[in-house]
């Protein structure tokens, strides 16, 4: 009897091709649309109905059963509320990482397994092998940065059909299979609200923010901001201070509601070669102290060489009472931002990662 695979069918080309490939390989495939967010925002219509209909049409095209799992309540609590709280605290979170951790590879996986599935699958560009997470063949599309918090047990029950394909190859496969999503454009913006930007979303959720001072490297007030939560380290656009050299955000004080900027590209506050991570997650066995590793500080950022140091201190803001790690990089990296994920690699294997403090 063929193994049952429940595929997260989002209505996009990647998940559509994943279904076609798995069916071609002989799996008993069911398509599942995860309804995570359906709320419209002022001036922006949530695309969920279009995506749901596209997913359903693909299921009909490929002659597979189709279901919808409604995860809106859990998504709001686990992903959206977390993201808002992090921005309010002055950090820059990654909701896609939390979505994968809490929804796709926990809630979806558990629901699918209890519903009769042997495996789940998604259209992520990544590879799973014997409970390990490996980078995709297509380095430009590799999505392991967003998957580093997935567990070994979850990976053992997960298939990534696109891991050995490039994006152009996937488009060609979609055309070969005659899928209605073959020419559909990729969704942009926040993972759950389509085209709306993070500033617009935060304004909708939190309302108008209190204005404050923008202060330059000479401790001079050079302008006003419309909410410190909207600014992140390294940001250049949207400062509206004008005149002369461009300014870059190098810090902010949420208590005093101040944003700090500089015109100096070599400002020490913009560059760092020491990373301090908390809320650390290891997919398999933790590496040893003084291990040589590579890190990625943003999706599609080049990997940076470094040395891992295991620490056992408590986080200074008391969010976590867990072991911390420090990473000493061979070269300085620009615009490291508290709250962002740092993912740790050993060659093509993803070891894990943590949250920058």
Kindly list the catalytic residues: 99, 191
Cα 120 to Cα 8, 107, 110, 112, 140, distances in angstroms: 8, 11, 10, 7, 24
> Which two three-digit tokens encode residue 296?
């990625």
CA dist 32 and 53 (Å) reads 12
DSSP designation for 127? E
> Which two three-digit tokens encode residue 145?
């940065």
Residue with tokens 């976590």: 320
Cα 162 to the chain's mean position, in Å?
18
CA dist 130 and 104 (Å) reads 19
Name every residue whose Cβ is closer than 8 Å to that of residue 6 and which is 6 or more positions away in sequence.
Answer: 30, 31, 32, 67, 108, 112, 115, 117, 119, 120, 121
Of 66, 79, 73, 75, the closest CA to residue 33 belongs to 66
Q: Could you tell me whether strands 119-121 and 132-134 are parallel, antiparallel, or unpaired per DSSP bridges?
A: unpaired
Rounded to the nearest 5 percent, the helix, strand and coil shares of the chain are 25, 30, 45
The residues that bridge with 223 in the sheet, in sequence order, are 214
Query: Quick one: CA torsion of 149, 145, 51, 168, rounded to 10 degrees?
Result: -140
How does 61-84 read in b/e, with b if 16+ C-beta sit within 10 Å? bbebebeebebbeebeebbbebbb
> Which two three-digit tokens encode residue 357?
């403090």
Number of H helices, E strands in the chain: 9, 17
């Amino acid at each position: 009897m063929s193994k049952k695979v429940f595929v997260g069918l989002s209505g996009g080309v990647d998940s559509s091709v994943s279904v076609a490939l798995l069916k071609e390989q002989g799996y008993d495939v069911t398509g599942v649309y995860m309804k995570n967010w359906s709320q419209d925002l002022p001036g922006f219509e949530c695309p969920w109905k279009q995506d749901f209909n596209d997913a359903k049409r693909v299921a009909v095209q490929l002659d597979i059963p189709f279901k919808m799992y409604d995860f809106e309540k859990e998504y709001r609590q686990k992903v959206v509320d977390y993201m808002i709280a992090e921005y309010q605290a002055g950090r820059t979170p990654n909701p896609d990482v939390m979505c994968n951790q809490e929804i796709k590879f926990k809630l979806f996986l558990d629901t699918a397994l209890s519903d009769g599935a042997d495996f789940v699958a998604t259209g992520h560009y990544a590879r799973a092998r014997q409970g390990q997470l490996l980078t995709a063949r297509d380095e430009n599309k590799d999505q392991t940065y967003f998957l580093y918090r997935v567990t070994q047990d979850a990976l053992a029950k997960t298939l990534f059909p696109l891991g050995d394909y490039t994006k152009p190859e996937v488009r060609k496969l979609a055309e070969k299979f005659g899928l209605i999503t073959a020419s559909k454009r990729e969704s942009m913006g926040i993972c759950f609200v389509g085209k709306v930007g993070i500033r617009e979303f935060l304004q909708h959720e939190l309302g108008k923010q209190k204005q404050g001072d923008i202060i330059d490297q000479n401790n001079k007030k050079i302008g006003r901001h419309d909410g410190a939560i909207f600014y992140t380290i390294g940001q250049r656009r949207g400062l509206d201070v004008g005149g002369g050299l461009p300014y870059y955000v190098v810090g902010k004080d949420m208590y005093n509601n101040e944003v700090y900027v500089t015109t100096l590209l070599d400002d020490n506050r913009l560059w760092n070669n020491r990373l301090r991570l908390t809320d650390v997650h290891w997919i398999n066995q933790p590496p040893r102290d003084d291990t040589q590793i590579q890190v990625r500080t943003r999706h599609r950022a080049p990997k940076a060489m470094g040395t891992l140091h295991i620490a056992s201190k408590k986080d200074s803001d008391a969010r976590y009472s867990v072991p911390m790690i420090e990473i000493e990089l061979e070269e300085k990296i620009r615009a490291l931002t508290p709250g962002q994920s740092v993912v740790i690699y050993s060659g093509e294997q993803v070891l894990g990662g943590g949250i920058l403090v």
